[in-house]
Chain A
Amino acid sequence: MTNQAQPDQVTRAARRAILIDGLPVITLGGVALALGSSPDQSTTQKALWIAATAVFALAVAWVLLRAFRRADEYLRKIQLESMAVAFAAVLVGLQVATVLDSAGVVPLHQLTQLIVIGGLAIWLVTADLRTRFHR
């Protein structure tokens, strides 16, 4: 009897495809980060940095969309439900951050990145736990 915990062909192919899609995007992210790292930037450098960051963001969306279309109906359902939970968490986080900003406790711009990253983390962890827990 084959080990049920070993990834099946479809899952292995999906992971391989994500790696093939993701490596250029990660490289692009590194380039965008490097472009934005210098403290004194000329207008041209800033424009390049903004362009690289925008292309990186679009590339991430493209990789996610391809992974989504490649997934079967069950994994797609899991991803959609996990995204819905993360979206709700981000909404609540933004609302709390807005109130804190209005009260002068913490500026909103300092919290938005944390909220977005936290939402992404919730999405990925929820999806991973739901597929990992039921093997």
Chain B
Amino acid sequence: MRNRLRELRAARRWSQADLAARCQVSRQAINAIETERYDPSLPLAFTIADVFDQTIEEIFLPDRTDTTNEQDPA
């Protein structure tokens, strides 16, 4: 899942280790999330959102390729 983690981290001049310490996870986890190799669980996503003082939707950008729930406006 695309995310703005690297951009938000760079704006605060935090290293991955700094962000990992604030989120109580390993640096490998932060690296995996930033490189889109791993999607965080809901509790971790909320923790990251709290750390950056933003909502989850402002940080994580889902790939909206699934159109099964789209309703026909007509």
Given the known A-B contacts A74-B38, A134-B32, are A4 and B25 also in contact in the complex, defined by CB atoms under 8 Å?
no
Residue in A closest to B13 when the chains form the complex, CB atoms: A1
Interface size grouping (class) on chain B: 20 to 34
Q: How many residues of A are in contact with the other chain, CB < 8 A?
A: 19
List the A side residues contacting B32 at CB < 8 Å.
74, 134
**A7–B44 Cα gap in the complex (Å)?**
20
Q: Does B41 contact A (CB under 8 A)?
A: yes
Given the known A-B contacts A10-B21, A134-B35, are A4 and B27 also in contact in the complex, defined by CB atoms under 8 Å?
yes
Of the listed residues A4, A10, A14, the one surrounded by the most CB atoms of chain B closer than 10 A to its CB is A10
Given A11-B27, A74-B38, list of 6 further CB < 8 A pairs? A10-B25, A10-B26, A10-B27, A74-B33, A75-B29, A134-B37
A residues contacting B by CB (< 8 A) are 1-2, 4, 6-11, 14, 71-75, 77, 131, 134-135
